[in-house]
A and B are shown apart, each in its own frame.
Chain A
Amino acid sequence: MFVPQHGLGGSQDLPLPFPLVVGGAVAALVASFAVLALAWQRPRYVDGRPQRPAPPWLGRLVDHPAWAWTWRVVGLVFFGFLVWPLVWGPDLVTNPVLGTFYVLVWVGLVPASLVGGRVVRALSPVRTLNLLLATLLRSDPAQGVATYPARWGYWPAAVGLYAFTWQELVNPQSAYLGSVRVWLAAYVAVMLVGAAIYGDTWLSRADPFEAWSDLLARLSPWGRDADGALVVRSPLANLATATPRPGLLAVVAVMFGSTAFDSFGDTLLWQRVRLDLPVPDVPLDSLALLSFCLVVGVSFALASGRIPARRLAHALVPIVVGYLVAHYLTYFVEQGQSTLLQLSDPLVRGDDLLGIGDATVNYWLSFHPTLLAWVKVLAIVTGHVVGAIASHDRVVALAPERRRVSSQLAMVGIMVVYTATGLSLLMAG
């Protein structure tokens, strides 16, 4: 008999208190009108400006080949390490593969990209494998046998993100190792085959983790100027540099819709609907998840009016980030700690490879529910304000003078709807 030191937790955050939700919604409304009434009348964030060069030593460091290779090796070694419990580990919820896949990687890439920029691109084991394969075959990793069709844009990544969120939120087998094995095997295969056909452009456009991390990196201070030199920008100026490729809105809509569905799926209301409807759970949940993504995408496209939606879609990224913070904060902090402890015992047999076996998970955050509620509401309102400013700046740049006010009202209106919906979902029990 053995007793693993760290069980996995299943409790969730308390619903947000009603007064705080109303306060948050009112703050979002007021801030929206303040943006409309007081903000600049000419676009401020064009072509990545304003920007200033990063300190020269920092530019030299990150442009050094050893820097890139360090992160590639780190990513590849960590992935290799995880293959061990993935293939030979027991099918227990304490197998570190599950926590790493759903918490450290999926949720962790959000803060990592917001702070460090395009971290998934730097660490991605499939990107490194493609590079090594090309080196071995003496070919160019960027070249495939065909050119990636530009009109596909980020659509493959949006499909990949739906596939991940389906695995996470719909698949009843999500907490079993077998389903993660299948998902990861399919992911690696699709990435490597795609990269062989289209070169590594495929990885930028189709890898759900890389495309999502690249997009979040636009909210980080790090960018590159036209000559490729490292520059520092305000997150708002950086966000405006997001390339409006086809499928950009789809990527953001899947991220927003799936997070909202996650909140909604936990409500007792949805649990009852699932019981009462004579439809099996998996098709019903798949359809509901898809509907949430579609509602976000279609409503935003309608609100964009005559401006192509993908040229405004970047303004949704801060809103999604605010909602993700509210949704995942406790989960990431507490489940993340417990995953780190599990990584020390990858085969769940009592090992302590990292020498942290005596440590325990710190539940300080859970014990401060009032603080937690405030952080959540502030995150959502901040995301809303940043999104409203980003859309304002773009509308001012693109809409003709006479349609400017109506375009702005539509944009801010849809954002208020999203924010209010997000807040009320976090309030629902």
Chain B
Amino acid sequence: MPALRHPVRPRRTALGGVAAALCAVLLAGCGSDDGSAAAEPGDESPSSSPSPTAESPETTATPSPTNEASGQQVEVDLTGGGTPDAQSVEVTSGEPVTLVVEADTAGELHVHSTPEQDLDYPAGRSEHQLTLDRPGVVDVESHDLGVVLVRFEVR
């Protein structure tokens, strides 16, 4: 069954336009990295502490569901070169979720929603808002690492 949601080749040439359209429609704030691309390494968020040291390759995606004005926030910490364990997060359909990505280098996340969404993140800290409006399970996967980072249970 998962054949058609397995890693899909980055469709830059043919589907770049789609990704851009999706960004405009679905990802408010996609690409607008609120200036944090140039954030200092010491610029820490309250819930994640990026400490990229060789001694701690085990980093974790730390979903910290908080109900702020912007809706639920989920942190994904990709710093340190480790492969974080996937975390399961329950969200309410139709309510915005903010994915906070912390990374050493820029990359791409794939949101296995319907339709699929690509999400480019810069080096450093960036926020991406997405709205999942159909009940189901939506994986957020890093194709560079080949791992599921967050599993949203949309209810």
A14 close to B137 (CB less than 8 A): yes
> Which of B4, B6, B116, B134: most chain A CB closer than 10 A?
B4
B85 close to A7 (CB less than 8 A): no
A13 close to B137 (CB less than 8 A): yes
B8 close to A175 (CB less than 8 A): yes
A3 close to B18 (CB less than 8 A): yes
A99 close to B21 (CB less than 8 A): no
Q: How far is the CA of A108 from the CA of B8 in the complex (A)?
A: 23
Residue of A nearest to B18 (CB): A3
Q: How far is the CB of A86 from chain B (nearest CB, A)?
A: 16
Residue of A nearest to B148 (CB): A271
Q: How far is the CB of A28 from chain B (nearest CB, A)?
A: 23
A253 at interface by CB-CB < 8 Å: no
> Which of B21, B88, B136: most chain A CB closer than 10 A?
B136
Q: How far is the CA of A168 from the CA of B15 in the complex (A)?
A: 24
B54 at interface by CB-CB < 8 Å: no
A14 close to B6 (CB less than 8 A): no
Q: How far is the CB of A75 from chain B (nearest CB, A)?
A: 23
Number of chain A interface residues as a range: 35 or more
Proximity bits, A347-388, B CB within 8 Å = 1, else 0: 010000000000000010011010000000000000000000
B113 at interface by CB-CB < 8 Å: yes
B7 at interface by CB-CB < 8 Å: yes
Q: How far is the CA of A92 from the CA of B115 in the complex (A)?
A: 14
Residues of chain A with a CB closer than 8 A to B151's CB: 268, 429
Residue of A nearest to B8 (CB): A93
Q: How far is the CA of A15 from the CA of B137 in the complex (A)?
A: 8
Q: Is the interface of A mostly helix, strand, loop or mixed?
A: loop
Residue of B nearest to A331 (CB): B1
B86 at interface by CB-CB < 8 Å: yes
Proximity bits, B99-139, A CB within 8 Å = 1, else 0: 00000000000011111100000000000000010111111
A8 close to B115 (CB less than 8 A): yes
A10 close to B139 (CB less than 8 A): yes
Q: How far is the CA of A268 from the CA of B151 in the complex (A)?
A: 9
B4 close to A335 (CB less than 8 A): yes
Number of chain B interface residues as a range: 35 or more
Q: How far is the CA of A302 from the CA of B137 in the complex (A)?
A: 37
Residues of chain B with a CB closer than 8 A to A174's CB: 3, 6
With A172-B6, A176-B9, A429-B153 already in contact, the answer to whether A92 and B1 are too (CB < 8 A) is no
Residues of chain B with a CB closer than 8 A to A7's CB: 18, 114-116
B4: which of A90, A103, A275 is its contact (CB, 8 Å)? A103
A272 close to B86 (CB less than 8 A): yes
A247 at interface by CB-CB < 8 Å: no
Residues of chain B with a CB closer than 8 A to A93's CB: 4, 8, 11, 116
B155 close to A14 (CB less than 8 A): yes
Residue of B nearest to A167 (CB): B3
B69 at interface by CB-CB < 8 Å: no
With A15-B137, A90-B14, A272-B86 already in contact, the answer to whether A102 and B3 are too (CB < 8 A) is yes
B2 close to A9 (CB less than 8 A): no
A366 close to B137 (CB less than 8 A): no
B98 at interface by CB-CB < 8 Å: no
Q: How far is the CB of B147 from chain A (nearest CB, A)?
A: 6
Q: How far is the CA of A164 from the CA of B95 in the complex (A)?
A: 39
Residues of chain B with a CB closer than 8 A to A91's CB: 9
Q: How far is the CB of A131 from chain B (nearest CB, A)?
A: 31
Residue of B nearest to A176 (CB): B9
A268 close to B88 (CB less than 8 A): yes
Q: How far is the CA of A174 from the CA of B154 in the complex (A)?
A: 27
Given contacts A91-B9, A366-B136, A429-B153, 11 further A-B contacts (CB under 8 A): A1-B16, A3-B18, A8-B114, A9-B116, A14-B153, A99-B4, A175-B3, A175-B4, A175-B5, A271-B147, A363-B114
Q: What 6 pairs across the A-B complex have the smallest Cβ distances?
A: A9-B114, A7-B115, A10-B112, A10-B5, A1-B17, A11-B136
